[in-house]
């Protein structure tokens, strides 16, 4: 059992054991003379207990732990630094095994704690109002990197707020649907009895709107919620603030959202910034109302958070009130989300690894 390392997937380098499927682990265990049920024990250590060394797998023999260590890596994320807001929001800079950094945020509101996690290092898209979009996309996060963000923030929630996470939003750095397979696998693990056992309806994926992938997500029947960054129901205006949307016209986006609703019976939430001299006219308001009427939806108005290098401004409060009154008359529910953590650049659109220079903290 302690001979040459087993070669997995035709690679001579050791594979991260968190990247192994259960059947792959079972096959390896069989090859070293261990029963397949050991794979379930290993999975429990990896996903439910989030251990950081093979030595912690105390219900496995010393010999098996040694074989695992010889044949696999066991990488983990760690907190590089953190910053606390006056409103009790906490932003974390998290170091990945290749030393890339991402940011994740804990947001306490009343009796809820939401974890906002990142799906990419940087971002694949080019929304002009977002600091993350100004960063080059370096890579996608793996399933276990996505999941471990949630696990770490769960631990931090108990530590700082004495309660578990109530909600998870894929709304941090990156476009989740451009990391489709890993995000879906993470979503399944979050709600799995082998993972965090969190109700899927407490999990939201926020996308800038990629029709083909919205349809594909609907087909997964995950039970999660969907939020779409809309910001204008006028194609020309939307292209100005979200240039990538030239490839995805509003009519095509709408068709995919109707498909989503028919498949899942879940309303769509439209995320919407009201910006001065951009989308603050009566015509903009009427166009949003008509768009919302075409698919079961609600609107979440977001406070604009300034980003270095742009010249956008929040529209006058009277415009927002007119938006809300018009939607209400049209029987479209709307809410307004005040920024949380804006004093530490942790609010929507502000994540850009500004914590990278701060000293390391342990979890």
Q: What positions carry a catalytic annotation?
A: 103, 348
CA angle 35, 36, 40 (to 5 degrees): 120
Closest by Cα among 161, 146, 61 to 111: 161
Q: How many helices (H) and strands (E) does the chain have?
A: 10, 14
124: left (phi over 0), alpha (psi -120 to 50) or beta: alpha
Q: Residue 298: helix, strand or coil by DSSP?
A: strand
Q: What is the Rg, in whole angstroms, of the alpha carbon atoms belonging to the chain?
A: 22
**What is the secondary structure of 89-117 as a DSSP string?**
-EEEEEE-TTS-EEEEEEEEETTEEEEEE
Residues in contact with 15: Cβ distance below 8 Å, sequence separation at least 6, in sequence order: 8, 9, 72, 73
**What is the crossing angle of helices 180-191 and 211-219, to 10°?**
30
**What is the secondary structure of 223-276 as a DSSP string?**
--EEEEE-S-SSHHHHHHHSGGGGGS-HHHHHHHHHHHHHHH-PPEEEEEE-BT
Cα-based distances in Å from 217 to 152, 168, 179, 201, 259 = 26, 17, 12, 14, 10
Q: How far apart are alpha carbons 309 and 75 in whole angstroms? A: 36
Q: How far apart are alpha carbons 93 and 234 in whole angstroms? A: 36
């Amino acid at each position: 059992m302690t001979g040459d390392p087993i070669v997995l997937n035709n690679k001579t380098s050791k594979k991260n054991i968190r990247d192994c499927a259960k059947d792959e682990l079972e096959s390896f265990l069989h090859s070293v003379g261990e029963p397949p049920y050991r794979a379930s024990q290993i999975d429990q250590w990896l996903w439910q207990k989030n251990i950081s060394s093979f030595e912690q797998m105390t219900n496995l023999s010393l010999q098996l732990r040694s074989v695992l260590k010889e044949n696999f890596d066991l990488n983990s994320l760690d907190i590089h630094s953190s910053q606390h807001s006056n409103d009790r929001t906490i932003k974390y800079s998290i170091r990945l095994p290749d030393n890339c950094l991402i940011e994740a945020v804990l947001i306490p509101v009343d009796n809820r704690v939401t974890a906002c996690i990142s799906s990419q290092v940087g971002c694949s898209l080019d929304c002009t109002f977002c600091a993350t979009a100004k960063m080059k996309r370096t890579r996608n996060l793996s399933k276990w990197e996505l999941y471990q963000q949630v696990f770490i923030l769960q631990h931090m929630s108990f530590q700082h707020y004495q309660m578990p996470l109530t909600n998870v939003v894929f709304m941090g750095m990156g476009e989740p649907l451009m990391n489709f397979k890993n995000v879906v696998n993470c979503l399944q693990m979050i709600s799995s009895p082998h993972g965090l056992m969190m109700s899927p309806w407490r999990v939201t994926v926020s996308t800038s709107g990629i029709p083909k992938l919205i349809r594909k997500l609907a087909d997964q029947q995950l039970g999660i919620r969907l939020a779409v960054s809309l910001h204008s129901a006028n194609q020309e205006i939307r292209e100005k603030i979200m240039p990538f949307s030239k490839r995805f016209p509003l009519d095509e986006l709408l068709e995919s959202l109707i498909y989503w609703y028919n498949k899942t019976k879940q309303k769509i939430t439209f995320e919407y910034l009201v910006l001065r001299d951009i989308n603050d006219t009566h015509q903009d308001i009427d166009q949003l109302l008509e768009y919302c009427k075409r698919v079961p939806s609600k609107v979440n108005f977001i406070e604009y958070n300034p980003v270095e290098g742009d010249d956008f401004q929040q529209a006058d409060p009277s415009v927002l009130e007119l938006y809300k009154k018009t939607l209400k008359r049209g029987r479209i529910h709307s809410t307004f989300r005040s920024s949380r953590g804006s004093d530490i650049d942790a609010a929507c659109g502000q994540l850009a690894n500004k914590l990278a220079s701060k000293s390391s903290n342990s979890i």
